[in-house]
Structure 1
Amino acid sequence: MTSEKYSNDGSTEEGKVHVEDPVAPVPHYPGDSKNDIKDELKGLEADAGSLDEEELEESIRLVPKIVRELVSMDDDPTLPTVTFRYFVLSTFFVALGAVISQISWFRTTSASYSMFFVQIVSYWLGNLMARTLPSKDVNLYFIKFNLNPAPFSIKEHVLITLAASAGATSNLGEIIVSVKDIFYNQRMNPIAAIFLMWSTIWMGYSFAAIGRSFLLYDPDLIWPSALMQTALFRTLRGEGQSLDISRKQIRVFWAVLIGVFFWSFLPEYAFPFTSSLAVLCWFAPRNDTVKFISSGFGGMGFMNFTLDWSNVTSSIMVSPWWTQVIGFTAFVLSVWVLVPIAHFTGIWNGKAFPIMSNRLFLANGTRYPFLELTDKSGHLDETKFEELGNVYMSTYNLWGIFFGYATFLSAFVQIFLFGRQKIWSTLQHLRQKKQHSFKDRLNVLMSEYEEVPLWWYVLLFVACFVTMIVLIFTQDLYLPWWTYVIGVLLGAMTVVPMGFIYAVSAYQVSTGTWNELIYGYMAPGTHPVGSLVYRVVAGQCWYRAQSILQDQKIGHYMKVSPRATFLSQIWGNIIGVPINYAVIRWVIDTKRPYLDGSKVDPLGQWSGQAPQSYLNQGIQYGLIGPTRLFQDAIYGPLRWGFLLGVVAPVVMYLLHKRFPKAKFNLWHSTIFFSNMENFYGNVSTGPLSSFIGGFFCMYYFFRYKHSTWVKYNYLIGAAADTGLSLAILGIFIFFGSAKIIVMPSWWGNDPVSVEKCYGSGN
């Protein structure tokens, strides 16, 4: 296979072998040659005689080639799943992650909690427990279980990771609890706060029922991020390949992990010069124009490279090549074309405010004093607003809002034009009431397991909806109840189109700008917390639905019972949310002066920049409202973003129909607009290096070294991310927790500019 060249449409030049090439928004997978399928039939039995060889061959052919290369086509339904080991390890990893993630939310720099770390360490601990625990039955009257029923199974391993993925994170409900307490001294009742966080998360989980039939079972929707984790599960256990290959993969995995771990101490701590190589500054270090153009920290990042994996990440090994091309094109247009035009010409007030800043300003260019706008009840003080005047932002932020408006509408038009046939086909399956209507090998295997009944999702939705209504009327959330209903409806509408994009591209479209705008028009002049509650509700519906669907796709690939997967995700939240709240209380009670701005943290860590940022947005859209905000002529062009969001995908669709070989279907307007919406003002050093890395990973190796790509692409990405996460965690523990150890200044850690971009003032 390595000798064949793979074209962009997924077929070889010889036209005989077809593989899934991650380049098309709605990929099509023609049948493979019989010889290829025969190789994959080895070792498989036709479901105890239920399928003959021809039917088995056809069911495998329906699975995309890339999935067959990374996912087992066999299953052992007798493997243990929910065991004593599962509960012990899932509780441990959820609790650990909930603490780390929640603390990180308040800090300026922090250590991420990698699911790859959970996968690796839980594998060790699970096997350790299987070797050491006695095989003893325990009777607690209400439940009976065995401490060590069988060897540690891969399905236990998967469920532990899925529980951690669900519960070992911070959650959007923290925004409401923290902003109310820090800035308005309104402490929510602990029980109410916990139920608020549970309700906002599980509302999104219930919405997964909307997208499940459309996004989960269709074999063409591969969910690249789910494939990556699946590859690591199988590599750790050496499944589906020879012992020699498995050992080599493990050696490569550990070599990359250890290498990235030790290397990351350089850009992240000891040698930050390597994090942003501003090449142009080396030739003219004291030129202001060169600094603006070349710097990756607050500049354009032109011809700027990075050796810091945190600025690249495994996204270059997960996101399809066509997605990366779109993203880099948007970056070039936004940062390398529009930014210098606005900066050097002053177009659209380009010189009035710092163009690479995401703050809001008074007309004179000073920072806008938001907190002065609220009266004692927390509503808009119109007299003060008239005195201060309208809020202003950089031109960079203005076109970010413009493309944010285009993004949301484009998603719906895009999926109607390019994905309506696939969605209609799924609807036809649903009309026939076929639970497992797709006949590919994986769906055939999963048909042996009981599906999650719809009433589970309905019950979860009703419980969350009623809980939120009660909280709105009893806990001073400042949200008109009818806006909550609208937020839920709009969130439900978002699940399928946004999920469809993520399932084929691994790109998550942001909906925050649209949600804030909608609420601002519905309830202007209300308390900023009301705007944040709406944002959490409308956003959580989509983000959590995507999260649960991706994890369910992992369960689908690993042949884990859907009910066990679903309950494992709920279990993760049951454990994680109370711990999230306890950490929030500890941080606010001990760091309040730093978080509310009354004191400055001398270490610059407990800045509370996340809650401050959300407060600013709540004031901007909820308190002031878009009507007042847009009364200035500078905001007038933003409204054209809505029209662009509708027209652009239509144009691409017509061009694709007129010139089908030109691949206009690959130019996904929603992904392009969403990338144009991204803010690179703080760090712009990663995109160029990421694009180069993505070219080798997802284009060159995929097409010309495909067998090598299959064995190592996802594996190396997981190893590198894990090494980085462990390094950041180590830096946090050893140099930034009990005793702060600051790296001494030296040539590679210049206190003025680590990039050597000084400008004329230095």
Structure 2
Amino acid sequence: MTSEKRSSESSSIRDEKFPVEDPVAPIPHFPSENKKDIKNELNAIESDAGSLGDGELEESIRLVPKVVRELVSMDDDPTLPTVTFRYFILSAFFVALGAVISQISWFRTTSASYSMFFVQIASYWLGNLMSRTLPCTEVNLGLFKFNLNPGPFSVKEHVLVTLAASAGATSNLGEIIVSVKDLFYHEQMHPVAAIFLMWATIWMGYSFAAIGRSFLLYDPDLIWPSALMQTALYRTLRGEGQSLDISKKQMRVFWAVLFGVFFWSFLPEYVFPFTASLAVLCWFAPRNDTVKFISSGLGGMGFLNFTLDWSNITSTIMVSPWWTQVIGFVAFVLSVWVLVPIAHFTGVWGGQRFPIMSNRLFMANGSRYPFTELTTSDGHFNEQAFEELGNVYMSTQNLWGIFFGYATFLSAFVQIFLFGRQKIWSTIQHLRQRKQHSFKDRLNVLMSKYEEVPLWWYITLFACCFVTMIVLIFTQDLYLPWWTYVIGVVLGALTVVPMGFIYAVSAYQVSTGTWNELIYGYMAPGTHPVGSLVYRVVAGQCWYRAQSILQDQKVGHYMKVSPRATFLSQLWGNLIGVPINYAVIRWVIDTKRPYLDGTEKDPLGQWSGQAPQSYLNQGIQYGLVGPTRLFRDQIYGPLRWGFLLGILAPVLMYLLHRRFPRAKFNLWHSTIFFSNMENFYGNVSTGPLSSFIGGFFCMYYFFRYKHKTWVKYNYLTGAAADTGLSLTILAIFIFFGSAKIIEMPAWWGNDPDSVEKCYGSGN
């Protein structure tokens, strides 16, 4: 539901004249202060807002953007229960389930995120079941007492369960360090040290939310579309603003889609993988090498390649606004359907020396680089071995990924300045009042009743994490100079507000990994690759986890949940989720190591270890070899121009937008485009075309021409499909891959030579 409007930069969200926000155009970066008569809109929400005779109430509601007024209640009941026995039971269950699914997915080539939609819906049903069946018994444990069933399952309990799952039911960046050390250097961290490492890096990012909360959380014009989307689903589940019959019909559709996708996903994921990548051109010329390269979605371009596997699509086609999907697909076409064949057939930029679509490292002759020989026994750079082996090379697609990664980072700051400087300055003016609730809109007025998270909580959390990391650096062979860790924390903190601003208005998370690797490479060249990854995790978590907690606090803000309960709920989720993450990491590495480290090839192309391999590559390039040595080779020379492109592209779009405002050049968000160009599609390129077609129907056709249907079923259908896929992956893991690995027998739809029927002349 990312909202983006068609008007020029001087327009305001609250002045929108369309019935709902239009996802075709981006949110304006210059919300104006123009007034508008909204009495008709206030009458539509009178049941939530109460009497409208009070001019002050009318003014406070007017300050809330229109799209928020349509989806968020303007009333509150502070007496509703929040942290209850039911909350702890449900949150622990959903955190544990998601931590398993998400961590398994991190090692796979394709994956489906653990759907928070599923958590919202399933926890709602289970919470109501508990409220009907649990006895109303008071339990006294001495230090505290609680009631097993304090009454109906409240919406605030419901929200906190989901927020705990959002925090703890996901994989975390600390997995990079633990996995790379074990997979490629056979250095297994002590379980306690690994778990504390993951806790410390996550909660360091949480502590940095203190920097951005006043800037990004309270301003009503920063709507945080993803948070708004979750809020809309809460109201749908509870039947607010619609009849009971409609709610029941929505639930029937949800369960029908969930079970349908659950049973169907066994085909592409296990029984019938042919359906996961329909390489149409290969059906007409299955033994032609050129056709195989063009049509294959598993290692090829994926031209006119379709997928029936929901893991290659996911609910992003029902969540991301149409304009961002267009930008993403254009970037995919340019990257994989234009640049890849140019490099392949002309040999430009090493396209004939090295595999174009690979995430491995190579020597100058194209053979695999023996990177372990570049480190001495004490973890330092082996200069002699480097001189003998030569420079490190990578695939062409990885090269331009780094190029666009540099462009992405600088473009983000230039984009913010050009299109958002007035908004930033307006927010700074509010911050100068030194009041947490200086905004006087209706939601901030309601939230002023609740106690804020005190600053010392954040400071204490930061201090504990900082000390823990320092201890781990000196005791656990993390290969990171301690002073670079301090610099990483400082530089990571500087990205919280600017990157958070982009996310708050567009729901697009900008990657900062490539930039962080470059900074570390210049600070500490010749150090062990793991040290570079530790720096990347620390600097990255400052932004990624700060964004996470701020988004969840915005959900709490919309649902009028106590900020303290929201904050503690996230900590509780991580407290449970991280140990489970570590247990899954151990299981995956112990059972899938040959596939993950490249010793053997997974016939389905799923357990490729693409993520840890990619992180290792960058650690070797920037941490071990270092950018100074790396960039002296001519093949790396063009990468530097990425910095200039990142500066000039948003300037060009801004000038064109000012000169031709009706041409909507402001829609072409250079940061989002460059970030999509940075994506590595090498192993699986079968999803984008199908996703684009699906996105057209979901976020363009149905939104514009079947809007009532879209409102009722779009998010529910996406949630059900993601949930069905997640449960399928979990079922396959439990029944076919945990105690005993049971492989699917070879047959026509599970051809061991090529599940796509793209054999080439060699088969």
Q: Is the TM-score greater than 0.5?
A: yes
Distance of aligned partners of 1:398 and 1:548 in 2 relative to their CA distance in 1, 3 Å threshold: same
**Separation in 2, partners of 1:26, 1:439:** 21
Aligned-residue Cα RMSD (Å) equals 2.9
Equivalent in the alignment of 2:539? 538
Q: 1:178 to 1:352 in 2, by over 3 A?
A: closer
CA shift for structure 1 position 415: 0.6
User: Cα offset for 1:367?
Assistant: 0.9
Deviation sequence 1:61-114 (CA, Å, 0-9, x none): 443343333333322221100011112222233233334444554567777533
Give the secondary-structure state (helix, strand or coil) at the position aligned to 2:400.
Answer: helix
Task: Specify whether residues 394 and 594 from structure 1 end up closer, same or farther in structure 2 by C-alpha distance, changes over 3 A only.
Answer: closer
1:92-131 residue pairs with structure 2 within 5 A?
92-105=93-106, 113-131=114-132
Task: Flag the 1:344–1:189 CA change in 2: closer, same or farther, 3 A.
Answer: closer
Name the SS for the 2:689 alignment partner: helix
Q: Deviations over 1:314-364 (max 9, x none)?
A: 111111222111111111111111111121112222222111112111111
Counterparts of 2:302 and 2:689 in 1: how far apart (Å)?
9
Q: Give 1:94's aligned amino acid.
A: V
Q: Counterpart of 1:174?
A: 175
Answer yes or no: is 1:194 the counterpart of 2:195. Answer: yes
Work out whether residues 210 and 496 of structure 1, in 8 Å CA contact, stay in contact via their aligned partners in 2. yes
Report what 2:328 is aligned to. Answer: 327
Which amino acid in the other structure matches residue 407 of structure 1? T
Cα distance, 1:669 vs. partner? Answer: 0.9
Query: Matched residues in 1 for 2:681 and 2:334: separation?
Result: 12
* 1:708 corresponds to 2:709: yes
Partners of 1:16 and 1:397 lie apart in 2 by 44
* Conserved? CA contact 1:37–1:57, under 8 Å: no
1:482 is matched with which residue? 483
**Paired residues for 1:245-260 under 5 Å:** 245-260=246-261
Q: Which moved more, 1:303-312 or 1:26-35?
A: 26-35
Quick check: 2:359–2:613 contact (8 Å CA) kept in 1? Answer: no
What corresponds to 1:678 in structure 2? 679
2:400 and 2:600 map into 1 onto residues whose CA distance is: 34
Q: 1:110 to 1:404 in 2, by over 3 A?
A: closer
Matched letter for residue 26 of structure 1:
P
TM superposition shift of 1:671: 0.7
Distance 1:465 1:162, change over 3 A: same
Change (3 A) 1:454 1:128: same
Instruction: Tell me the CA shift for residue 584 of structure 1.
Output: 4.4
2:389 is the counterpart of 1:388: yes
The number of aligned residues is: 753
Aligned to 1:278: 279
Output aligned runs, 1:216-615, within 5 Å: 216-584=217-585, 610-615=611-616
Deviation at 1:172, TM superposition (A): 1.7
Cα deviation code 1:655-688 (max 9, x no counterpart)? 2222222221111111111111111111112112
Quick check: 1:595–1:608 contact (8 Å CA) kept in 2?
yes
How far the C-alpha of 1:276 sits from its partner, in A, is 2.0
TM-aligned CA distance change 1:108 to 1:560, over 3 Å: same
Q: Which amino acid aligns with 1:728?
A: I
For residues 505 and 708 of structure 1, the distance between their equivalents in structure 2, rounded to whole angstroms, comes to 24
Question: In structure 2, what is the Cα distance between the partners aligned to 1:477 and 1:75?
Answer: 49
The CA distance in 1 between the partners of 2:6 and 2:618, in whole Å, is 45
The alignment partner of 2:366 has SS state of coil
Alignment partner, residue 726 of structure 1: 727
Indicate if the aligned counterparts of 1:273 and 1:755 stay in contact, CA closer than 8 A: yes
* Other-structure match for 2:26: 24
1:138 match: secondary structure: strand
Q: Which moved more, 1:675-684 or 1:226-235?
A: 226-235
Deviation at 1:43, TM superposition (A): 1.3
SS of alignment partner, residue 301 of structure 2: coil
Gaps of 5+ in 1: 1-5
Partner of 1:627: 628
Deviation, 1:261, is: 1.8
* Counterpart-to-counterpart distance in 2, 1:44 and 1:232: 17
Q: Distance in 2 between the 1:681 and 1:597 partners?
A: 15
Provide the residue aligned with 2:44 in structure 1. Answer: 40
Structure 2 match to 1:163? 164
Give the distance between the partners of 1:757 and 1:26, measured in 2 at CA: 46
Question: Is 1:83 aligned to 2:87, yes or no?
Answer: no
Is 1:335–1:680's contact at 8 Å kept on the other side of the alignment?
yes
Secondary structure in 1 matching 2:139: strand
C-alpha distance in structure 1 between counterparts of 2:540 and 2:762, whole Å: 43
What is the one-letter code of the residue matched to 1:377? D
* Mapped contact 2:359–2:610 kept (Cα < 8 A): no
Q: Secondary structure at the match of 1:541?
A: helix
8 Å contact kept, 2:106–2:171:
yes
SS at match of 2:756: coil
- Shift of residue 167, structure 1, vs aligned partner: 1.5
Q: Structure 1 residues 102 and 280 mapped into 2: Cα distance closer, same or farther (>3 Å)?
A: closer
CA distance in 1 between counterparts of 2:28 and 2:112 reads 36
Q: Which amino acid aligns with 2:401?
A: G
- Relative to structure 2, which stretch is displaced further, 362-371 or 652-661? 652-661
- Cα deviation, 1:574-620, whole Å, max 9, x if unaligned, reads 22223434554566677778876789999998776644443333222
Kept in 2: contact 1:224–1:318 (CA 8 A): no
Q: Offset at 1:530?
A: 1.0
Cα distance in 2, alignment partners of residues 709 and 31 from structure 1: 30
Q: Matched residue of 1:286: which SS?
A: coil
- The answer on whether the counterparts of 1:408 and 1:645 sit within 8 Å (CA) in structure 2 is yes
Tell me how far 1:53 sits from its aligned partner: 4.4
Structure 1 pair 316/495, CA: closer, same or farther in 2 (3 Å)?
same
Q: Deviations over 1:677-708 (max 9, x none)?
A: 11111111211222222222222222333332
1:637 partner letter: P
Residue identity matched to 1:462: A
Q: How many Å separate the matches in 1 of 2:532 and 2:663?
A: 44
- The sequence identity of aligned pairs, in percent, is 85
Letter in 2 for 1:619: I
Q: Distance in 1 between matches of 2:673 and 2:656?
A: 17
Which residue does the alignment assign to 1:3?
none
Which is worse superposed, 36-45 or 23-32? 23-32
AA partner of residue 467 (structure 2): V
Would the alpha carbon gap of residues 705 and 185 (structure 1) be closer, same or farther in structure 2, given more than 3 Å must change? closer
Q: Identify which range, 666-675 or 113-122, moves more after superposition.
A: 113-122
- Structure 2 distance, partners of 1:240, 1:163, is 27
CA change 1:700–1:62 in 2 (3 A) is farther
Comparing 111-120 with 711-720, greater Cα deviation is found at: 111-120
Contact residue 108 and residue 605 of structure 1 kept, 8 A: yes
SS of equivalent residue, structure 1 residue 43: helix
Residue identity in the other structure for 2:284: F
Change (3 A) 1:690 1:598: closer
Secondary structure of 2:121's partner? helix
Q: Aligned pair in 2 of structure 1 residues 588, 301: CA closer, same or farther (>3 Å)?
A: closer
Name the structure 2 match of 1:71.
72
For the structure 1 residues 191 and 275, does the alpha-carbon distance in structure 2 shift closer, same or farther, using more than 3 Å as the test? closer
The 8 Å contact of residues 479 and 530 in structure 2, kept in 1 or not, is answered as: yes
Match of 1:145, SS state, is strand
State TM-score, norm by structure 1.
Answer: 0.92
Distance 1:256 1:182, change over 3 A: closer
TM-score normalised by length of structure 2: 0.92
Query: Which shows bigger deviation, 199-208 or 25-34?
Result: 25-34
